Amino acid sequence: MARPNPIRVLFLCTGNSCRSQMAEGWARALLADRVEAHSAGTSPQGLNRLAVIAMREAGVDISRHESMSVESLARFEFAWVVTVCDSAREACPVFLATARVIHQSFDDPPRLAHGARSDTEALPHYRRVRDEIKEFVQRLPDVLQGVFP
């Protein structure tokens, strides 16, 4: 049974192109009955196509997601902000001050894959981080202990 008022969670990263997009996708796929998931970046850079491929391989389609700025979500009141990169943690916007913030840093797949000569060489980095983010999102209700009944 769906919760009448899902908890609004923002996954925040610098570029909102990869890690935060993956986290939003996993939260929508795994916790849709309890979480209203969003993602944004402090400096949006567009959706990373290899992140889309890696998520599609796992059965989650994020191809219609848009890379958004934090400011574009200012109308929302978030209960939780999950920063998924160190840069976002340090630059968490002031308007989110009413939200509770937790930090869970993940490696940056584009940085890890820098120098890869093909998608085939690059994708293992995206897959590893994708799977780590999935594991985190699956544990999110426990991480936010006391929030979920």
Total domain count for the chain? 1
On whether residue 19 sits in a domain, the answer given is yes
Q: Is the pLDDT of residue 1 over 50?
A: no
54-67 average pLDDT score: 97
**DSSP annotation string for 8-67:** EEEEEESSSSSHHHHHHHHHHHHSTTTEEEEEEESS-----HHHHHHHHHTT---TT---
Question: What amino acid positions are annotated as catalytic residues?
Answer: 13, 85, 92
Average pLDDT in the chain: 88
Q: With beta carbons less than 8 A apart as the criterion, state whether 10 and 82 touch.
A: yes
On whether residue 15 sits in a domain, the answer given is yes
Give the pLDDT score at 90. Answer: 58
Task: Count CB neighbours of 148 within 10 A.
Answer: 13
State the CATH number of the domain containing residue 91: 3.40.50.2300
On whether residue 145 sits in a domain, the answer given is no
On whether residue 2 sits in a domain, the answer given is no
pTM of the model: 0.90
Domain housing 46: 7-140
On whether residue 40 sits in a domain, the answer given is yes
Condensed to tens digits (0 to 9), the pLDDT of residues 77-133 reads 898 989 998 765 556 565 556 788 888 999 999 999 999 999 999 999 999 999 999
Query: Could you tell me what percent of the chain has a pLDDT over 90?
Result: 62
On whether residue 66 sits in a domain, the answer given is yes
